[in-house]
Structure 1
Amino acid sequence: MHFSQLPPMLGEALAARGYAAPTPVQAAVLEPAAEGRDLIVSAQTGSGKTVAFGLAMAPQLLEPNGELPYIREPLALIIAPTRELALQVSRELIWLYGKAGARIATCVGGMDASKERRNLAQGAHIVVGTPGRLRDHLERGALDLSSLRVAVLDEADEMLDMGFREDLEEILDATPQERRTLLFSATMPRPIVALARRYQRDALRISTVGEDRGHGDISYQAMAVAPADIEHAVVNLLRLHEAETAMLFCATRDNVRRLHASLIERGFDAVALSGEHSQNERNAALQALRDRRARVCVATDVAARGIDLPTLSLVVHVELPRDAETLQHRSGRTGRAGKKGTAVLIVPYPRRKRVDMMLRGARIAAEWVKPPTPEDIRRNDRERLLAALLEPVEVDDEDREIAQRLLAERGSEEIAAALVRAHRARLPAPEEMLDQGAGERPGPGGPRPGFEDTVWFRMDVGRRHNADPRWILPLLCRRGHITKNEIGAIRIAASETLFEIPRTAAGRFAAALKRTEGGDPEGEGGVRIEPVQGKPREEARRNRRAGPPPTRHKAKPFRARPKRPR
């Protein structure tokens, strides 16, 4: 299909932006077979997905004269996993539907919620937002979805990975059943299939993912670490490679800000790029990298689009890419123009299987390596220092005069040692990596109010799986649909963890566990949680009387999820 067949106002908007012909995904959603149907679309990053679903929903939005009707309730809803992506989608739809008179409201975490509610009250044809903020507006009565004609889930797999399933279900349950649902997902894991089956009718599957994979000049490495060691692994990678320019990819601008501040504090010359930076700040950061005043760039995927730095030789995926296409897009910042580059994925232990699948799908042969140790770094430092000091250099008369004065005051060995010490003092210190979790959270001396009558539960992760209360509490809240105030004592053993729940909440906790079990086999859904008969000491005595315990499946560690935006 050509753009000439679109409503004139959309065609004019596309022409003004320099669009001459549709991309493959845009052409696919405009085919007659896709018209009016629910869609499941897989397309690689940078393929024009936003414009694709913007064009696909046009028949449901536009009147015969090509304009949008006057209505207070939204006709289209686009849900995106991150604030950056939601803002990007909103900007794209503003120019695409601007000539049609569209009113577009954006609802994302970190923005003024009261202003968003006023915009919704004034009426919006299209609402774009993140799941948490949209759910908040819905529950407050500020968002009315009763007239919705189209719902779009952009990067649906990423939203489920981030723990937004309940938010999505509540939002979609509030929409009319006859609405059209467009689901964009790079992968099709079981939770996505279940979501599509529940909320779509006779959906047409579209895939335009290309066959051209990988970068021949990039060496891929992957290293599994405990979640608490991710930042330490980043520091040690930077120190091991001492790359002329390195780029670190994070999923959100909050994480960019946090990691950038941490690296600056440690003594790295680093800059940051994310959606919160202006164009002038972006230009200044890139110029600092080109001038060698900075050597490390911490960035989000969106902020790093189109960046080409000739000296970039190291890419670190601090937070895992959402799919193979994002992996290649990020990694492709290095290994350009015949130069060699290294791309390293930092993989939390429970995500290893998923990363293996991603690498196979991308036809990338990555080497699994151990995180660099301080001794590895010091060994490389010694080799680099010797190479630098043994290189021939040009000296002038002033250099020779200072050298002679030094030799007159100190021996040659003392001078060399002082030079080595001065060089090493400029380098950030390497980090020691943790071997296991932080230990157990002991219960209080006496029962807390409300915990006089409790039920104990067991989960099949312990210290050897890097179990830690900081990860256990949010996991139990997500899996069991309870609050942290409803969790009592936590006792972490070598291979299991015991915890108590008030008997008044134990029933709904157990029911929620059944619904959430197995939804994410490599992550939290794969953690086995079951009630304990009696108190922990009574259970231990029963096990000793019964003989050796039965063989259990290999316990799967869980991942620490980032805090979701609201």
Structure 2
Amino acid sequence: MTEIEGIVPAIAKALDKRGYKELTPVQKAVIDPELGVADALVSAQTGSGKTVAFGLALAPTLLGDAETFGPAATPLALVIAPTRELALQVKRELEWLYEFAGATVVSCVGGMDMRTERRALERGAHIVVGTPGRLCDHIRRDALDMSDLRAVVLDEADEMLDLGFREDLEFILEASPEDRRTLMFSATVPRAIAKLAESYQRNAVRVETTAAREQHVDIEYRALVMAPADRENAIINALRFYEAKNAIVFCSTRAAVNHLTARLGNRGFSVVALSGELSQSERTHALQAMRDGRARVCIATDVAARGIDLPNLELVIHADLPTNPDTLLHRSGRTGRAGRKGVSALIVPQNGRRRAERLLQNAGIAAEWARPPSADEVSQRDGERLLADPSLSEPMGEDEKTFVAELLERHGAEQVAAAFVRLYHTGRSAPEELIEMSLDQGRRTNRDDRHNPNDGFKGSDEPRRSRQEFGESLWFSLSVGRKQNAEPRWLIPMLCRAGNLTKRDIGAIRMQQQETHVELAAESAEKFLSAIGPNRTIEKGIRVTALKGPPEAGDGDHRKAFGKPSKARDFDDRPDRPKKPFGNKPREASADRGFSERRDDKPLGDRPERPKKSFGGKPREASAERSFSERRDEKPWTKKPAKPKADTAGAPLAKKPKKKNAKTRVE
């Protein structure tokens, strides 16, 4: 039995069943008698056992002098987490921690059936765990009664503020009783968190463990520098070199997650994706596949993987550099948890080394700078793992001796060993060859840090091959054209990134209205199709289709699905247009004749005179001496009756009063 002062016996029994021999620094800090039942603002590094820590801190407040809970009714404690995965994980942790105390834990998270959650709340709960948005919905609909609430816990408070949940948090805290106990747990304490604590906590005690200010000793940080075009190859080699039971690869966008998932899946990795566009059911299945061993690699965005805990996670790869030090710490904190060792590898393109150095410096992390594992290093590590395989050292069973003797007699020891090696490598992706470069080649001056539009694809310094030396080729059609503002300056880098190509592999590019025809070298076409995967889709949802032959201008038989074909922009093949006649006289191409001379060539004298138009029924006379008044008098005004200037009695007509204008000044 674990006997630690300040722990309720039922909680101590659960810890003993779980195999806890010693508490972490943050767990010891929250059960310190000096803290008591006061409000607390706790900052500790990721993976230090914060979930169990606030479970221990809540026990005295919820149980008091009792050893177990009574019948479930209105909630006594509320735990708020930023993401669905973290909320469900917290629920699982509290369920085993309060197993012998008889607590009922209910979750309220987005993506789940709201009616099921409402029925669970109606049946009663001691602890409710949820996300801010869903908790606000239940409060507004009177499904969540917080009148008896004794404590509120904000887990990953800094992340909730970053995700824009400040208004929801304020609404929840204002709806809870004023005499509640408020605990805030966060890996970092920025100014926004401190201000929120001042507003909703009473005389809060700041708890900061020593480990929170030091580099996580259980995590080995490595910065792998490579050419920009080798980014995905470096990720593949790193995964193969470490062969971790579980690994997470972090990307900055959902599109990058989808692309890398397809690429690694094509290479034979058992991989799952975790991003915000997936449903809750899909995200739950992905995490379960990682836990039970059906998948070994998870490609995730920062928000989706926030707070998840995978027991066997040994490797974290930053495919895209984190935007700030806090994100770096949170990402890396997925490994090296609860005393286990882990590796955090940053994929650093040579043009982003200075940015990576600043990031590590601001985070207070000393990383080892190195080149990504080469193909030879991966093969060497495979040999070491093969020689250390437990199956080679296990004693032979009695039922195996007869068959082993038959194998050796029929095939020989060398052939059997070769077969064993082949079976070992079956299902493992072959390592990639990387571009040779020195480690110091990635260092640049501030002047060199400016953006280069050619960065990010292979062969940015190599000129494209001329038409004469291009040789045999294949043509492909891309579902983007001039109407979608397609341009070679961004199509070529995109093709190089998606298809693992260089500029020298790309030949002619013919832009059309709805599609683009691209010529690729024959030896690179198979590599290109393998890289883009069976869906034949690259970045921005562009579809790739192989053509049967080179397209011809105006020939759209090979792409009838696009409707009426448009001619390609082969300007050199257009025939010369005949010179058009000008003024019924053949046009002479002469640069020496001026405009006045060419104007005199026009046969103006051959034009017939136009008849002069009549004006008011009278022929118009061309005279410049007649004044305007004389020409005006010739108009047939007599056809219109003149207005009378007096009435029938001879009296002058009364003038109509002028209408007052709003702009007229009144004296």
Q: Does 1:245 align with 2:239?
A: yes
- The equivalent residue for 2:182 is 181
CA contact (8 A) 1:221 1:342 kept: no
CA contact (8 A) 1:109 1:130 kept: yes
| Local SS of the residue matching 2:34 | helix
CA contact (8 A) 2:107 2:117 kept: yes
The whole-number CA distance in structure 2 between the counterparts of 1:113 and 1:358 is 43
Change over 3 Å in CA distance of 1:316–1:376 after alignment to 2: closer
- The equivalent residue for 1:563 is none
Change over 3 Å in CA distance of 1:120–1:242 after alignment to 2: closer
1:426 to 518, 523, 530: 530
The whole-number CA distance in structure 2 between the counterparts of 1:147 and 1:99 is 23
Q: Does 1:343 align with 2:346?
A: yes
CA contact (8 A) 2:251 2:300 kept: no
Change over 3 Å in CA distance of 1:428–1:372 after alignment to 2: farther
Aligned partner letter, 2:159: E
1:378 to 458, 467, 487: 458
The whole-number CA distance in structure 1 between the counterparts of 2:356 and 2:132 is 24
CA contact (8 A) 1:108 1:129 kept: yes
Structure 1 residues 188-227: aligned runs within 5 Å? 188-210=189-211, 211-213=214-216, 218-219=222-223
| Local SS of the residue matching 1:182 | strand
Q: Does 1:361 align with 2:363?
A: yes
Larger Rg over CA atoms: 2
The whole-number CA distance in structure 2 between the counterparts of 1:183 and 1:221 is 38
Range moving further from structure 2, 268-277 or 365-374: 365-374
CA contact (8 A) 2:222 2:346 kept: yes
- The equivalent residue for 1:496 is none
- The equivalent residue for 1:407 is none
- The equivalent residue for 2:42 is 41
| Local SS of the residue matching 1:212 | coil
- The equivalent residue for 1:272 is 272
Aligned partner letter, 2:284: E
| Local SS of the residue matching 2:272 | strand
Change over 3 Å in CA distance of 1:52–1:239 after alignment to 2: same
| Local SS of the residue matching 2:75 | coil
Change over 3 Å in CA distance of 1:94–1:53 after alignment to 2: same
- The equivalent residue for 2:98 is 97
Cα deviation for residue 187 of structure 1 reads 1.6
Q: Does 1:329 align with 2:322?
A: no
The whole-number CA distance in structure 1 between the counterparts of 2:146 and 2:341 is 50
Greater RCO structure (CA 8 Å; 6+ sep)? 1
Deviations, residues 289-339 of structure 1 (Å, cap 9, x unaligned): 6xxxxxx84473525553236xx8x53257758555324335879xx999x
- The equivalent residue for 1:308 is 314
Cα deviation for residue 138 of structure 1 reads 0.5
The whole-number CA distance in structure 1 between the counterparts of 2:356 and 2:144 is 36
Q: Does 1:156 align with 2:157?
A: yes
Change over 3 Å in CA distance of 1:380–1:283 after alignment to 2: farther
- The equivalent residue for 1:139 is 140
Cα deviation for residue 259 of structure 1 reads 5.3
Deviations, residues 116-145 of structure 1 (Å, cap 9, x unaligned): 011111111100000000001011111111
The whole-number CA distance in structure 2 between the counterparts of 1:96 and 1:265 is 39
CA contact (8 A) 2:313 2:334 kept: no
| Local SS of the residue matching 1:11 | helix
- The equivalent residue for 2:27 is 26
The whole-number CA distance in structure 2 between the counterparts of 1:132 and 1:185 is 19
| Local SS of the residue matching 2:284 | coil
Deviations, residues 12-31 of structure 1 (Å, cap 9, x unaligned): 11111111222111110111
Aligned partner letter, 1:156: A
The whole-number CA distance in structure 1 between the counterparts of 2:450 and 2:328 is 22
The whole-number CA distance in structure 1 between the counterparts of 2:77 and 2:29 is 20
The whole-number CA distance in structure 2 between the counterparts of 1:355 and 1:123 is 52
Change over 3 Å in CA distance of 1:243–1:372 after alignment to 2: farther
Change over 3 Å in CA distance of 1:23–1:31 after alignment to 2: same
| Local SS of the residue matching 1:93 | helix
Aligned partner letter, 2:74: E
- The equivalent residue for 2:479 is none
The whole-number CA distance in structure 1 between the counterparts of 2:356 and 2:458 is 33
The whole-number CA distance in structure 2 between the counterparts of 1:354 and 1:150 is 41
Structure 1 residues 4-83: aligned runs within 5 Å? 5-70=6-71, 72-83=73-84
CA contact (8 A) 1:30 1:55 kept: yes
Aligned partner letter, 1:205: R
Cα deviation for residue 2 of structure 1 reads 5.0
Range moving further from structure 2, 162-171 or 186-195: 186-195
Cα deviation for residue 96 of structure 1 reads 1.1
Cα deviation for residue 279 of structure 1 reads 4.0
Cα deviation for residue 283 of structure 1 reads 4.5
Change over 3 Å in CA distance of 1:371–1:55 after alignment to 2: farther
Cα deviation for residue 146 of structure 1 reads 1.4
| Local SS of the residue matching 2:319 | strand
Which ranges of structure 1 fall in alignment gaps of 5 or more residues?
223-232, 290-295, 347-351, 383-416, 434-566
Q: Report the TM-score, using the length of structure 2 for normalisation.
A: 0.48
Q: Report the TM-score, using the length of structure 1 for normalisation.
A: 0.55
| Local SS of the residue matching 1:151 | strand
| Local SS of the residue matching 2:37 | coil
The whole-number CA distance in structure 2 between the counterparts of 1:132 and 1:355 is 37
CA contact (8 A) 1:4 1:11 kept: no
- The equivalent residue for 1:452 is none
| Local SS of the residue matching 1:168 | helix
CA contact (8 A) 1:29 1:56 kept: yes
Cα deviation for residue 191 of structure 1 reads 1.3
Which ranges of structure 2 fall in alignment gaps of 5 or more residues?
241-246, 275-282, 370-442, 463-520, 541-667
The whole-number CA distance in structure 2 between the counterparts of 1:84 and 1:251 is 18
Range moving further from structure 2, 166-175 or 182-191: 182-191
The whole-number CA distance in structure 2 between the counterparts of 1:51 and 1:221 is 38
Aligned partner letter, 2:91: S
